[in-house]
Structure 1
């Protein structure tokens, strides 16, 4: 059950949350159920979070907040909403993944599993040289990651900035290279890649990997084709003529 609005200010102070204007309080209210509060306190007690700032972005399943972690290093805090999130599509990205054969049918159990899945996917990608936010820790419905940006200012999505022709070409090649590395080395397919899930900070950074599946998943190629279509559409619309989608598929999977 969500805590009532009168409790929000008290909880925000206790959780060392700095940004408490009206809009931020409304966003915090959407995620601060009792279980999430307990989890945040545990992460604070363990020193994985030293303080929490304002919201970076909001989504249908989770909200992302700025914060500080160990040694006052900037971090991103992703909180999946237990009570109000939309998780109807999650099962198709979990069923068939041998890493998660036992899927709990309870809402909170599914969300906790999804958080763990995103942490594992980010770790696989990061360790194989794909530029993603470095995962730091996870607990229940909260994921701590590297903050992409500087001085509390998050990096923009690639769709929201003007890139030169050279930058567009370099970014396209880098993204295809990341997709290839994901598939061949990390054994993953992003499965929701588009201009909405790519940040630009001294080059492209792939984000939101909760739905990513192993390349052995029965829908892996279907998801990969969709990723390729999204990427080529965006860069074509941006003025860069991209290679044929089937040619890109062969490059990515190594044929």
Structure 2
């Protein structure tokens, strides 16, 4: 009975989302997120007690939408749902190639999206293990990733691009430290790091969107790292921080 009520609550929130999408005219978004298999996966997560209630949309993107939810003990969660029909599969394949964790994956759209979801889950775990502040992953199933919600009372933490940090130098130092920990300890390069995927919460930066992070033996890891460095230095220079690509690169490469 309790599970039935929980699932009805989830269905209600999904219907509300669909109405908002229809009002906006974005029918592709509606059809791309809540297909029948995705709904079934949500119900499975609800029946396991992982999701108690589902809230509104936190963010929308080309590949995925993120929703607020409640888990055990009213813990706030973020549910990231990757679209199987509209995701950029070629881009995903480029980041999956060379990752020994995902060798032998078939080239179907569904398999690529499922592998991408699992990849983001594992990357979050690797980052967290070495001390990088990222959303704590809870579980992943098919094209759905459940993780810690960064924010409070359904209000998400802002992205770095949307606020001006009170201590930009301190935030830069912390981001640089995280980039170094990812490289030296987790053996990962974020691959798309910028002010767009760093949240600022309680005065601390939190790295998000770890799906595209690659292992160091990926054939384009050096190129991705150079781009990350370029993006971070460009942003923090605008904030008045004395930094350079050469110095940040040297810091990341420096061994203990």
TM-score, L = length of structure 1: 0.89
1:23 is aligned, of 20, 25, 28, to 20
Aligned residues of 2:189 and 2:215 also touching (Cα < 8 A): yes
Which residue does 1:94 correspond to in 2?
96
**Structural mapping, 1:75-224, within 5 Å:** 75-164=77-166, 167-202=167-202, 203-224=204-225
| C-alpha deviation, 1:233, in angstroms | 0.4
- Aligned CA RMSD, in angstroms, stands at 1.7
| C-alpha deviation, 1:238, in angstroms | 2.2
Structure 1, unaligned runs of 5 or more: 1-11
| C-alpha deviation, 1:85, in angstroms | 2.3
Which residue does 1:227 correspond to in 2?
228
Segments ≥4 residues shifted beyond 3 Å = 16-19, 24-30
SS in 2 for 1:182: helix
Per residue, is there more helix in 1 or in 2?
2
Aligned residues of 1:24 and 1:54 also touching (Cα < 8 A): no
Within 2, Cα distance between the matches of 1:197 and 1:205? 8
The superposition leaves residues 100-149 of structure 1 with CA deviations (integer Å, 9 ceiling, x where unpaired) of: 11121111110000000000000000111100000000000000000000
Within 1, Cα distance between the matches of 2:228 and 2:114? 26
Within 1, Cα distance between the matches of 2:154 and 2:226? 35
Within 1, Cα distance between the matches of 2:8 and 2:49? 17
Aligned residues of 1:33 and 1:83 also touching (Cα < 8 A): no
Aligned residues of 1:198 and 1:206 also touching (Cα < 8 A): yes
Within 2, Cα distance between the matches of 1:179 and 1:185? 10
Structure 2, unaligned runs of 5 or more: 1-6
Aligned residues of 2:32 and 2:84 also touching (Cα < 8 A): no
| C-alpha deviation, 1:17, in angstroms | 4.4
Within 2, Cα distance between the matches of 1:88 and 1:76? 26
Within 2, Cα distance between the matches of 1:90 and 1:111? 8
| C-alpha deviation, 1:239, in angstroms | 2.3
SS in 2 for 1:90: helix
Aligned length: 241
| C-alpha deviation, 1:16, in angstroms | 4.9
| C-alpha deviation, 1:250, in angstroms | 1.7
SS in 1 for 2:68: strand
